[in-house]
Amino acid sequence: MSGSGGHVVIVGAGHAGGTAAALLRQYGFEGPITMVGDEPIPPYQRPPLSKAWLKGEADADSLALKPLEFYAENGIDFRPSVSATAIDRGSKTVTLSDGSSLAYEHLILATGARAIALPIPGADLKGILFLRTAAHAEALKATVGPGKTLAVVGGGYIGLEVAASGRALGAEVVVLEREARILARVACEALSDFFTGYHQKHGVRFELGASVTAFEGQDGHVTGVKLADGRIIACDAVVVGVGATPNDELARDAGLECARGVVVDLDARSVTDPAIFAIGDVAHRPMPIYDRMFRMESVPNALEQAKQAASAIVGKPRPAGECPWQWSDQYDLKLQIAGYAFDVDEVLIRGEPASGKFAVFHLKGDQVQSVEAINAPPEFMMGKLLILNRKPVDKAKLADTSVSMKEVTV
């Protein structure tokens, strides 16, 4: 392992960038590290923004990945409120928004993704919010409460978490979803139905098949959401959760190969330039267990790629193959998802959804491709191993909750 090295510049101070900086030191890297981020605060955990933090159960200190002092104490030059504007790959320098520039030996792009805005009339009204950053969450927290109505555009996981937190804060919540069911792009029908019912039980209203055409406002502030059928849903605030797009313009402008995100190899290294890495939401990366490349938006993915890049820079062996996973907390439900449902030919439900404890297995032949586990840690933990090890399962056993998850393989 190399204990020293040339300057590592990390562009982006989110979960991925912050973790890469910390891991480089943990792995014994002794060279200079500079990390620039366009937010005013050091790297923090984003998942609680839509959950514990929004409900007031976590504070700024507990969100921070590391205390601010950590960076100076560990020789990491952290520069807040600065972004990178250009990369000169020939001279290996990055130009920053404050006019300065940094020379690098290794460059890690951890620029993340940004929330997609709806290009419709009224989109610039006050009270139309997103949930991506601490500043977004602050604005949302200041807006929702008893007597207020929150409209959530998009019935994906972020939207549903915001809906649950909004209800916990005493606000009326209506979720507007373009598709015929919530979670349409990411979950099977059984899971959509389960979440719809659970949210309805907690007082959330749903408008499905609802296409949003405009935001209505008064005195510059949003007062309603207009649907294609002409109805106007009155509200005091809107959260738009319709997906994110990678911040890969910096890489594109520098001539790095991009798909939707910067194309990298198993070391998180750009396929165009070996001195440049891309990690987290901005990376389009190989995933050998599915024999394809894609872009993921999850904390475990950010951490895994931070490990890959830091390992490659210090000459440590590549981390063992991983099974991608993610989680979501809504009310008292813990949803844990392992893998992605690629090439699935059968969906098998283990347990009874009505019991609030079940798991949906997505199978390709007798192999598990993905599992969505609701309050079902054994199904999640074992599912993750089965996905990674590609062990065939006995479907009859898998469907039978009296058989332990430890005994479902053939």
Partner 1 sequence: MAKITYVEHNGTEHVIDVKTGLSVMEGAVKNNIPGIDADCGGACACATCHVYVDEAWLSKTGDRSAMEDSMLDFAEGVEPNSRLSCQIKVSDELDGLRVTMPESQH
Q: Which stretch binds partner 1 (CB under 8 A): 35-43, 151-159, 286-294, 377-385?
A: 377-385
70 is a contact residue toward partner 1 (CB under 8 A): yes
- For residue 78, count other CB atoms closer than 10 A to its CB: 23
The least CB distance from residue 303 to partner 1, in Å, is 6
Own/partner contacts of 211-216, CB < 8 Å, gap of 24 or more, are 211/178, 212/118, 212/120, 212/153, 212/176, 212/178, 213/120, 213/121, 214/120, 214/121, 214/122, 215/120, 215/121, 215/122, 215/123, 215/125, 215/128, 216/122
Candidate residues 22, 35, 169, 258; the one interacting with partner 1 per rule CB under 8 A: 22
Cβ atoms 377, 336 nearer than 8 A = yes
For partner 1, give the closer residue by CB, 73 or 189: 73
User: What is the CA angle 322-323-324, rounded to 5?
Assistant: 105
47 is a contact residue toward partner 1 (CB under 8 A): yes
45 is a contact residue toward partner 1 (CB under 8 A): yes
26 is a contact residue toward partner 1 (CB under 8 A): yes
405 is a contact residue toward partner 1 (CB under 8 A): yes
Pairing between strand 8-11 and 106-109? parallel
Determine the 3-state secondary structure of 397 from DSSP: helix
For partner 1, give the closer residue by CB, 25 or 136: 25
- For residue 321, count other CB atoms closer than 10 A to its CB: 12
329 is a contact residue toward partner 1 (CB under 8 A): yes
Query: In angstroms, what is the C-alpha Rg of the chain?
Result: 22
For partner 1, give the closer residue by CB, 43 or 224: 43
65 is a contact residue toward partner 1 (CB under 8 A): yes
209 is a contact residue toward partner 1 (CB under 8 A): no
For partner 1, give the closer residue by CB, 272 or 298: 298
The least CB distance from residue 36 to partner 1, in Å, is 20
299 is a contact residue toward partner 1 (CB under 8 A): yes
For partner 1, give the closer residue by CB, 82 or 187: 187
d(CA 195, CA 335): 10
Count of residues of this chain found to bind partner 1 when the rule CB under 8 A is applied: 28
Candidate residues 41, 385, 388, 399; the one interacting with partner 1 per rule CB under 8 A: 385
d(CA 405, CA 408): 6
62 is a contact residue toward partner 1 (CB under 8 A): yes
Cβ atoms 281, 244 nearer than 8 A = yes
For residue 306, give the nearest of 12, 78, 6 by alpha carbon: 12
Task: Write out the residues near partner 1 by the rule CB under 8 A.
Answer: 22, 25-26, 45, 47-48, 62, 64-67, 70, 74, 299-300, 303, 325, 327, 329, 334, 336, 377-378, 381-382, 385, 405-406
